[in-house]
Amino acid sequence: MAELVRRSVYAVRTYRLIAGLWIRSSMAYPVSFWTMTVGSLLINFLDFVGIWFMFHSIDRLGGFELREIGLLYGATGIAIGMGDLLISSVEELGQKIRTGQLDAMMTKPVPLLVQVCADRFQLRRLGRVGQALAVFAWAAPVVDWSPTRLLVALLMLVSGSVMFFSLFVTFSSVQFWTTDSSEFANAFTYGGNTIAQYPMTIFPKELVRSLTYVLPLAFVNWYPCLYLLGRSDPYGAPDWLRFASPVAAAVLVVVMAVVWRTGVRHYRSTGS
Amino acid sequence: MTDPLLEVRDLGRDFTVRTKGEGRRRRTTKIVHAVRDLTFDVAAGEMVGYIGPNGAGKSTTIKMLTGILVPSRGHLRVAGLEPSRHRRDLARRIGVVFGQRTSLWWDLPLRDSFELLRRIYEIEPARYERNLREYVELLDLGVLLDTPVRQLSLGQRMRGDIAAALLHDPSILYLDEPTIGLDVVSKGRLREFLRTLNAERGTTLLLTTHDLQDIEALCDRVIVIDHGTAVFDGPLARLRATGGATRTLVVDLVDEVPPIAVDGADVLKVEGPRQWLSFPADASAAPLVAQVAAAYDVADLSIQEPDIEDVIREIYSR
């Protein structure tokens, strides 16, 4: 147990070390950094403006008003934004394999996943998180806040971030076998995020089922938000699902760990 | 502790290679044995040259020794650890330098890369300071410490990489083509440094190289690998004697004469008054010299040692 704690502390510390280095090196060009960050914030801001305009001609979408949708939108946006920030260049795994950079990483005592994730850490990806956070804060008054609701909201955001992080890593691990592009992964992660921005009531029941039991993205925001909004599930799913986001996150972490480790053991390196 | 530092027994690694079938045939798979039946030990403090032609399995072996690749079969221990299972623990005890690419951080000055390594390897400050001072001096890195790695020349970068691989006092250092692309002076200085390292710290060295002068300058022992398995393992002198290696006696005569006829040597070449005689590497030159001197007017004599490259070519061709 003590060993596990020691290893985790070491992993987090080295992640911060390496990421910190990249942040410092990007700060060497502050103008470029702030243009990129603010630019990404603005582009993402326009994204929600689209939904906002839609509500000029409708009052409700799938039974939900604009602020309620803002809550769903903000929650999944924060989650995928945090996941995207933390994985940094995992999507470039294939490139690291081809250039032999991964070999060099494997001869260091830092966990490989930490090195891959912290490498070329891009703080400007906070722009997306910032926008989602702003939408979430704007939507927050729609919730009748209580200590329990606050706790559920916090667990939702943390679990959601962990879930997207795990999905990014899991899908990128495919590159251990085929060093091809990551388009396949994006269909599930970014596609999933787009779906999760809307209330599940506008989608067919089968899709909601698969987003609960197969690719459990409904736990990123839908189920916990139902609790925050004091609504019952239109599809009649059991109430305890609203508190199950951390469980769904844990399942995805286990899947990620297994796939990643299998990938590392099957790693073939490059011919040199 | 008399256990060898490296323990390699019947080690093998296969790769499945997919080849495109011709026409409408399905793709076929083929198994390539990159390394097979490889067995050797390396004791602490040895300097071993690991040589072989391209594709012989050198890199694959190094990658198994460092835990990057999982062996398909066989037994492997480095410093008592099974590399692929304890890769990260092992990383604290080994140093790796890949000649063709850097493991330094491209955009950082050397000093920052070193500092990051200090924290990654959790090196105590006093030991770190001592090592850094010593390597900076021996590798002449002083003026380069504040230069970003991308601005360094190949030779400078290589010195930086070697210092980086040694900051945590590894007991074994793997060098993959350490002198590739370096000029003669840089090569000489690098070899000098590695000799010092081995003599003073007892660091075990395993190096792969195409430059046989590296081997001559550094290694007491050579392992030659071909088609994935060791075809020679022994001291350099024995490698020379093996494979029908020959030495050459160069004779400068006073006059131009027909090819010299003596026992135990063949004339390779005649160029004016100079003649080249080849004789077996394990034979003594003394009787030959005596014979030649007795029968001809000799102005000068010299002996050329066998070219190790020829010896290895000879071994491969068998």
The pTM score is 0.86
CB < 8 Å to B100, chain A: 100, 272
Taking alpha carbons only, the member of A81, A169, A186, A155 closest to residue A125 is A81
Angle at the Cα of B305 from the Cα atoms of B302 and B306, rounded to 5 degrees: 135
Q: Is A269 on the interface with B (CB under 8 A)?
A: yes
Does A57 have pLDDT greater than 60?
Answer: yes
State pLDDT tens for residues B127-162.
999 999 999 999 989 899 999 888 998 888 999 999
pLDDT in the model for residue A253: 97
Query: Are A17 and B120 within 8 A, CB to CB?
Result: yes
pLDDT in the model for residue A270: 75
Interface of B with A in 42-61 (CB under 8 A): 55, 59
Of B59, B89, B103, the CB nearest to A272: B59
CB < 8 Å to A99, chain B: 101
Query: Are A269 and B89 within 8 A, CB to CB?
Result: no
- The phi-psi region of residue B69 (left if phi > 0; otherwise alpha if psi is between -120 and 50; otherwise beta) is beta
More confident residue, B286 or A271: B286
Of the pLDDT bands very low, low, confident and very high (cuts 50, 70, 90), residue B69 is very high
Cα distances (angstroms) measured from residue B132 to each of A24, A211, B60, B93, B160: 24, 55, 31, 17, 11
Taking alpha carbons only, the member of B204, B46, B200 closest to residue B130 is B200
SS3 B12: strand
Q: Kindly state the percentage of chain A with pLDDT values over 90.
A: 66
pLDDT in the model for residue B23: 62
Angle at the Cα of A205 from the Cα atoms of A200 and A208, rounded to 5 degrees: 50
Does A272 have pLDDT greater than 60?
Answer: no
State pLDDT tens for residues B6-61.
999 999 999 988 776 666 666 788 899 999 999 999 999 999 999 988 888 999 99
Q: Write down the domain spans for chain B.
A: 6-240, 245-317
* Positive/negative CA dihedral, A244, A245, A246, A251: positive
Cβ atoms of B36 and B229 within 8 Å: the answer is yes
Question: How near does any CA of chain B get to the CA of A145, in Å?
Answer: 44
Of the pLDDT bands very low, low, confident and very high (cuts 50, 70, 90), residue A100 is confident
CB < 8 Å to A272, chain B: 59, 100, 176
Question: Which chain A residue's Cα is nearest to B108?
Answer: A25
For domain B6-240, the CATH superfamily is: P-loop containing nucleotide triphosphate hydrolases (3.40.50.300)
The whole-angstrom separation of Cα A108 and Cα B131 is 18
Question: Which chain A residue's Cα is nearest to B121?
Answer: A109
Query: Are A21 and B108 within 8 A, CB to CB?
Result: yes
* Cβ partners under 8 Å of residue A268, min gap 6: B15, B69
Question: How near does any CA of chain B get to the CA of A10, in Å?
Answer: 9
Please state which CATH number belongs to domain B245-317. Answer: 3.30.70
User: Which candidate in B63, B66, B168 is best for mutational testing of the A interface (most A CBs within 10 A)?
Assistant: B63
Cβ atoms of B169 and B131 within 8 Å: the answer is yes
CB < 8 Å to A25, chain B: 107-108
State pLDDT tens for residues B3-14.
799 999 999 999
Taking alpha carbons only, the member of B175, B252, B206 closest to residue B49 is B206
More confident residue, A15 or B262: A15
What's the mean per-residue pLDDT of chain B? 88
Q: Is A267 on the interface with B (CB under 8 A)?
A: yes
Question: At B195, phi and psi to the nearest 5?
Answer: -60, -45
User: Which candidate in A107, A115, A270 is best for mutational testing of the B interface (most B CBs within 10 A)?
Assistant: A107
CB < 8 Å to B112, chain A: 21
The whole-angstrom separation of Cα B75 and Cα A151 is 52
